[in-house]
Chain A
Amino acid sequence: MATASIPHAATATATATRPGNRALRRFLRHRLALFGLVTILLLSLNSGLGPLLNPFDDLYIDVMHRFAAPFGDSHLLGTDALGRDMLARLMMAGRVSLTVGFVAMIISTAIGTTIGAIAGYYGRFIGAALMRTVDAMLCFPAIFLLLTLATLVSPSLTTITLIISLTAWMEVARVVEAQIRSLRERDFAVAAEVMGASDARTIFRELLPNAVAPIVVAATLIVARAILLESYVSFLGYGIQPPVASWGNMLNNAQQYLTTAPWLAIFPGAMITLAVTSFNFLGDGLRDALDPR
Chain B
Amino acid sequence: MASYLVKRAIQSLILLWLVSMIGFAILHLAPGGPLAQFALTPGMTDADLKRMAQQMGLDRPLPIQYLEWAWRLLCGDWGNSYRDSKPVLSIIAGHLGATFELMFASTTIAVLLGSWVGVLGAVRRYSLFDTLATVGAMIALSIPTFWFGLIFIYIFSVTLGWLPAGSRFTIGDGSLLDYALHLIAPSIVLGFVTVAIWSRFMRASMLDVINQDYVRTARAKGLPERVILVKHTIRNAILPMITIAGLQLPTLLSGALVTETVFTWPGMGRLFLDSISYRDYPAVMGILMCSALLVLIGSLLADVLYSVADPRIRLD
B14 interfacial contact with A, CB 8 Å: yes
Q: Which chain B residues lie closer than 8 Å to A273 at the CB level?
A: 139, 142-144, 147
| A210 CB, min distance to chain B CBs, angstroms | 27
Question: Which chain B residues (283-301) contact chain A, with CB distance < 8 Å?
Answer: 284-285, 287-288, 291-292, 295-296
Please report the total number of B residues contacting A with Cβ < 8 Å.
Answer: 62
Q: Write out, one digit per residue, whether chain A residues 80-109 have a CB within 8 A of any chain B CB (1) or not (0).
A: 000000000000000000000000000000
Point out the residue from A22, A132, A224, A232 that lies within 8 Å of B126, measured CB to CB.
A22
Q: With A135-B15, A151-B284 as given contacts, are A2 and B146 in contact (CB-CB < 8 Å)?
A: no
Point out the residue from B26, B116, B158, B257 that lies within 8 Å of A258, measured CB to CB.
B158
Using CB atoms, name the residue of chain A closest to B272.
A144
| Inter-subunit contact B151/A265 (CB<8 Å) | yes
B29 interfacial contact with A, CB 8 Å: yes
Interface of A is mostly: helix
Question: Which chain A residues (124-164) contact chain B, with CB distance < 8 Å?
Answer: 132-133, 135-145, 147-152
| Inter-subunit contact B150/A280 (CB<8 Å) | no
* Bound CA–CA A242/B147 (angstroms): 19
Using CB atoms, name the residue of chain A closest to B21.
A136
Q: Write out, one digit per residue, whether chain B residues 19-46 have a CB within 8 A of any chain A CB (1) or not (0).
A: 1011000100111000000000000000
Point out the residue from A5, A258, A284 that lies within 8 Å of B123, measured CB to CB.
A5
Q: With A16-B126, A251-B146 as given contacts, are A258 and B120 in contact (CB-CB < 8 Å)?
A: no
Q: Which chain A residues lie closer than 8 Å to B31 at the CB level?
A: 152
Interface of B is mostly: helix
* Bound CA–CA A25/B125 (angstroms): 10
* Bound CA–CA A5/B118 (angstroms): 13
* Bound CA–CA A152/B288 (angstroms): 14
Among the stretches A6-14, A57-65, A177-185, the one at the interface with B is: A6-14
| Inter-subunit contact B144/A228 (CB<8 Å) | yes
Q: With A136-B19, A139-B15, A281-B138 as given contacts, are A269 and B144 in contact (CB-CB < 8 Å)?
A: yes
| B222 CB, min distance to chain A CBs, angstroms | 11
A272 interfacial contact with B, CB 8 Å: yes
Q: With A25-B131, A32-B135 as given contacts, are A144 and B22 in contact (CB-CB < 8 Å)?
A: no
Q: Which chain A residues lie closer than 8 Å to B86 at the CB level?
A: none
| A144 CB, min distance to chain B CBs, angstroms | 5
Q: Which chain B residues lie closer than 8 Å to A16 at the CB level?
A: 125-126
Using CB atoms, name the residue of chain B closest to A22.
B126
The 10 closest A-B pairs by CB, nearest first: A269-B147, A136-B18, A276-B142, A277-B142, A21-B126, A143-B254, A141-B253, A141-B254, A141-B250, A139-B292
